[in-house]
A and B are shown apart, each in its own frame.
Chain A
Amino acid sequence: MISQLLKSKLCWRAFRCRSEVMRLYHRGLMSVIAQDISQTQLIALDLEMTGLDPNHDQILSIGLIPIENNLLMLDKAEQKLIKVEGGVGQSAAIHGILDNHLEDAIEIDQAIAWFVEKTQGKVLVAHHAPLDITFLQNAMTNTMGEPVKLLAIDTLAVERKRLLRKHDVLKEGSLRLGACRTRYGLPVYAAHNALVDALACGELLLAQIAAIGQGESLTVAELLAIK
């Protein structure tokens, strides 16, 4: 049921697209939606931004780690630094990326082309996905010259649902990536960069799948539907 809905959504998006690349992109996902999560190619994602406002702030870096057969593939992990207009400013305190780190950074257009290529046919996974996705959609809309919508599994939403189902009271900070990981006995990662956070998010998803699945099959669509 959910997968039918998502499929038609993707179909509509592909139909509305003017860009050939994005049409292929949406079509690529249609066949994946109904699949069992463990057989699907996923890709864990994290962004570093100059701030939290998608309308004003810019993407600084994108980290991607593919998940195949329920395994995070470190040899295919990649991250790109992106040139920004103006300076990094105050945000440097959070992500540690300084202006001089961005010397070998690429233009946002190049980054988007790379992103589309790498994630083609793969389901995005992010922690607190709406934020990262909005940033990406905005950047893609600018590059492509037409509105773009993306789908992503949100590990934060998955966690919130699991906690609420257990009638837990959600405490301040209990849905942060680190707090979620602790619940599954995952190690504490200190450093913050897009790639490490993508790794942390990918591992969390594997743990969540193991916890939800309990041996039963779980489809991509079911996870995508959790908002």
Chain B
Amino acid sequence: MDASELQPISQFIKAQAPFDTLKAAALERCCKSLTVGYYSKASAIVPLDETHPQLYIVRSGAFEVRDDGGELVDRLGEGDYFGFLSLLSGEKVSNRVQILEDGLVYHLDPDTFNYLRSENRHFDRFFNRAFAKRLRHQGRFKAKDLATTSRVNTLMSKHPVVIDSHSTVGEAAQKMRLARVSSVLIIDNHQLVGILTDRDLRNRVLAEGLDGHLPVHQAMTTRPKTLTSSSLVFEAMLLMSEHSIHHLPIVDEEIPIGILTSTDILRGQSSQPLLLIGEIERQHTVESLISVSKQIPLLLQNLISADARAEEIGRVLTSVTDALTRRLIVLNQQLLGEAPMAFCWLAFGSQGRQDQAACSDQDNGLLLAYEPDETASAYFDALSKSVCAGLDSCGYVYCPGDIMAQNPLWRLTLKQWQHKFETWVNTPEPKALMHASIFFDMRSVYGPSSLFDSLQDTVLANTKGNDIFLAGMAGNALTESPPLGFFKKFVLERDGREVKGIDLKHKGNALINDIARVYALSAGIKEVNTAKRIRQLMDLNIINRKDALNLADAHEFIAHMRLSNQGYQDKHSQEITNYLKPQHLSSLVRHQLRDAFKVVHDAQSGIKLKFTRSF
């Protein structure tokens, strides 16, 4: 038989990771060598023949893998595998596979399995990784649909200026002046016939002694080089330098939709974080600061396209926010005069943790050196109000929970803050704890570090080893659970518009943040960035190395998925959300995401055991 004769089987196998990476010949050999079995719930367990290990591929039905202690190891459904442990190790494995629901299972013999491993690196790596249950895949993966290497449509100017070929160059020049552009596209019958640039006006009109009455078609460049909107920026640069041109019309299906200039490309490269931060520091008015902040979404896009690590992206975006905040404070102080006393601008939540992404809102507060008098109060009131308003205009919307410096509740002296934290720590009521989780990820963005240190030191002295408080915080981190549903398929939630998706933030990263926070507070660690917290916890031997690496990897992986998803949403002009639609994912990424959520789940069990003393 050849693979085409047993299509239902070859089609199914071909769609599964890692089989989807196999070449046609290997795939055919694989399909040919399969045997098909049916396991009924009535027989309770799958009889695993230890002398003849095989890879079991679940085609239908539901199964559970349990270790010799009866602990649940894994739940399997369509497209999942078992039996690879003994295949890879060659050792007897004591896991039992229970049948939850009757199902059809394909078996792959060891010879073919080893042949496929030797034949295909991805195949081998997939099972080795599954075997090691480790998640060191940061940055290497890429969901097919989410691929966002830099494309020209991210840089081009949309709505190009156009004119027909029978107009005069004078009219063209007026249009260019009006739109403040250096080129105009010549369109006849909706078709691009040419381009007229500043340089053409100089060389072909003025230098020739001609005047503005010359028809456009006599001065334009006919049939200019074009690219489509999905071309890479790199290709555009190549084309421009090859033909020494500075303007490229972007044409999709013969309709001109934009124009890309060498300046656009330069601008694209200049939205690098350091340049942006430099630019922020050079601004002298709040208005110009707001206009500079418009580059932040572009910066995020570029970082995502450049495949930066999610942790780096978070840090970079946060340093931009920090710079913007500091500049707003300085500019407003220039208007209001010198502050009457030393103060710190505190950042909480995601800005505190340095993991900001798109659509972050504000979480901030003021720490004052001592009790302000009436004038001082009025001063800080005015200052914080204008800084918060400035941040809002720059795209950091007001905090819905009103945790902002402009709210007098969160504008406190050192003593008051210390007292506040003390209350949270000593009377850990659920609601106070929920609140507190935002405040414990705290960093000073502006102001003397000694002032901030005095606050943080007392807070950590209170939390360290405080069992009751830590139990409360741990309980708080257990209220949500990662979307590991029944057969380890995703439990889907509905967002407001009744669209299914996984909430990567609240069911993923937020939980890891919570877990890292509980451990960090228990150990009195000053660091608030989640990745750094985990690293320190590993160095201090509070979390074992393997678990710490797993947790850090899961954090990075889920954050990366969230960012690339937001990049995808932005590119397709969808609303930016934390919801991911699993159908956009390749089978491999789906597996990895499930593994990542599994790690979060395990870490939750870890803190439950360690801090809540309940089982």
Contact = CB atoms under 8 A, between A and B. Distances in A.
Interface stretch (B1-9, B223-231, B299-307, B525-533): B1-9
B302 to A, nearest CB: 45
A187 B103 CA distance: 10
A74 interface: yes
B32 A214 contact: no
A74 B9 contact: yes
Interface stretch (B35-43, B320-328, B429-437): B35-43
A71 B36 CA distance: 5
Given A71-B107, A187-B8, A77 B36 contact: no
Interface string B31-67: 1111111111011000000000000000111000000
A127 B507 CA distance: 49
Nearest to A71: B35
A196 B7 contact: yes
B115 interface: no
Interface in A197-219: 199, 202-203, 206-207, 209-211, 213-215
B36 A74 contact: yes
Interface string B74-103: 000000000000000000000000000111
Contact of B6 (A70, A73, A195, A214): A195
Interface string B97-139: 0000111100100000000000000000000000000000000
Contact of B39 (A72, A193, A199, A210): A210
B104 A193 contact: no
A169 interface: no
Interface SS majority for chain B: mixed
Contacts of A185: 60-61, 101-103
Given A185-B101, A187-B59, A75 B7 contact: no
Nearest to B112: A75
Interface SS majority for chain A: mixed
Interface string A108-140: 000000000000000000000000000000000
A74 B5 contact: no
Given A195-B1, A203-B104, A215-B43, A74 B38 contact: no
Contacts of B1: 74, 77-79, 195
Contacts of B59: 187
B8 A190 contact: yes
A24 interface: no
A184 interface: yes
B35 A73 contact: yes
Interface string B1-32: 10001111100100000000000000000011
A21 interface: no
Contacts of A199: 6, 8-9, 36
Given A185-B102, A210-B43, A70 B8 contact: no
Contact of B32 (A74, A186, A196, A206): A74
Contacts of B42: 210-211, 213-215
A187 B35 contact: no
A193 B38 contact: no
Contacts of B6: 74, 77, 195-196, 199
Contact of B35 (A74, A210, A214): A74
Contact of B38 (A73, A196, A203): A203
B8 A189 contact: yes
A164 interface: no
A184 B32 CA distance: 24
A185 B101 CA distance: 9
Given A78-B1, A185-B102, A211 B35 contact: no
Contact of A210 (B5, B33, B38): B38
B61 A72 contact: no
A191 B7 contact: yes
B361 to A, nearest CB: 47
Given A196-B5, A196-B6, A210-B43, A187 B38 contact: no
A47 B393 CA distance: 74
A186 B60 CA distance: 7
Contacts of A79: 1, 5
B445 to A, nearest CB: 57
A72 B106 CA distance: 9
Interface of B: 1, 5-9, 12, 31-40, 42-43, 59-61, 101-104, 107
Given A190-B8, A199-B6, 20 more contacts: A71-B35, A72-B35, A74-B33, A75-B34, A77-B1, A77-B6, A78-B1, A185-B101, A185-B102, A187-B60, A191-B8, A193-B5, A195-B5, A202-B36, A203-B36, A209-B38, A210-B40, A211-B102, A213-B40, A213-B42
8 contacts: A71-B107, A72-B36, A73-B35, A74-B36, A75-B33, A195-B5, A203-B38, A209-B38
